[in-house]
């Protein structure tokens, strides 16, 4: 967990579950896997199993103890809808988010099929934002799964953006994040891919957030797109 996050589109992170496994091309250079291995080597007790799925029971109700309203990224070190996370754990995490209504929770998954399967069993509210990660046109199906869920706020994280997104359909989508891959082995992102998505968001009045250009030195590459920083978000309803 972290009360202050370096991720540009959130304020804090909450990891009641850690660990994951690769599922698509966007996972190739997973930052969470690198960090988990480093934390294990440092002796962090929460990562003694490295990047294996681990449920931290003592953290499931943590946001209820945070008094100041926050925007919270859920499971930045895992995927809440991973096949090895029991349904009852997912439901308990959702119940915490429902009770902690002063906060805004952001969830991202690449496992949209499981999200859709159990969506009707989950207690959705406007402070729970549900998103899918889509790296290329091969993962367009995740967007369609997301649209069929009961989530009230739906968003896309097009990061790492690994190609152009022709015929992207933003109907029913409340927010779009775009970012390039960063770190060792980072794959390049073309400016035109970003501008095409930005222009589509502007056309359909969908908030657009440009996270980073990425690359081996993401800090040097920065976040400027067409002379400005783009960090629009949906209303928080807090």
Indicate the domain borders of the chain: 12-16+56-221
Q: Using alpha carbons, list the distances in angstroms from residue 148 to 88, 119, 144, 173.
A: 22, 9, 7, 11
CA–CA separation, 112 and 108 (whole Å): 9
pLDDT score at 2: 63
**214: pLDDT strictly greater than 60:** yes
Q: What is the mean pLDDT of residues 103-112?
A: 98
pLDDT score at 195: 98
The predicted-structure confidence for 50-88, as pLDDT tens digits, reads as follows 999 999 999 999 999 999 999 999 999 999 999 999 999
Pair of tokens at residue 8: 């540009």
For 101-120, letters b (16+ CB in 10 Å) and e give: eebbbbbbbbbbebbbeebe
pLDDT score at 184: 87
Confidence of residue 1 (pLDDT cuts 50, 70, 90): low
């Amino acid at each position: 967990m972290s009360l202050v996050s370096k991720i540009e589109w959130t304020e804090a992170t909450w990891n009641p579950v850690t660990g994951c496994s690769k599922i698509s091309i966007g996972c190739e250079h997973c930052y969470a896997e690198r960090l988990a291995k480093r934390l294990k080597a440092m002796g962090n007790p929460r990562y003694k199993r490295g990047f294996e799925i681990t449920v931290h029971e003592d953290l499931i109700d943590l946001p209820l103890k945070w008094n100041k309203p926050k925007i919270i990224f859920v499971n930045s070190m895992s995927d809440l809808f991973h096949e090895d996370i029991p349904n009852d754990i997912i439901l308990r995490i959702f119940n915490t988010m429902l009770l902690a209504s002063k906060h805004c929770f952001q969830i991202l998954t690449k496992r949209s099929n499981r999200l859709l399967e159990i969506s009707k069993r989950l207690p959705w509210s406007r402070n729970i934002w549900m998103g899918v990660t889509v790296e290329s046109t091969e993962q367009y199906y995740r967007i369609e799964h997301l649209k069929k869920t009961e989530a009230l706020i739906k968003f896309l994280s097009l990061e790492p953006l690994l190609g152009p997104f022709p015929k992207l359909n933003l109907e029913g989508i409340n927010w779009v994040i775009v970012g390039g891959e960063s770190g060792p082995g980072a794959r390049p992102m073309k400016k035109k891919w970003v501008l095409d998505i930005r222009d589509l968001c502007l056309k359909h009045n969908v908030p657009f957030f440009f996270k980073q250009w990425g690359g081996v030195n993401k800090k040097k590459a920065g976040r400027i797109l067409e002379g400005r920083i783009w960090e629009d978000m949906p209303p928080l309803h807090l």
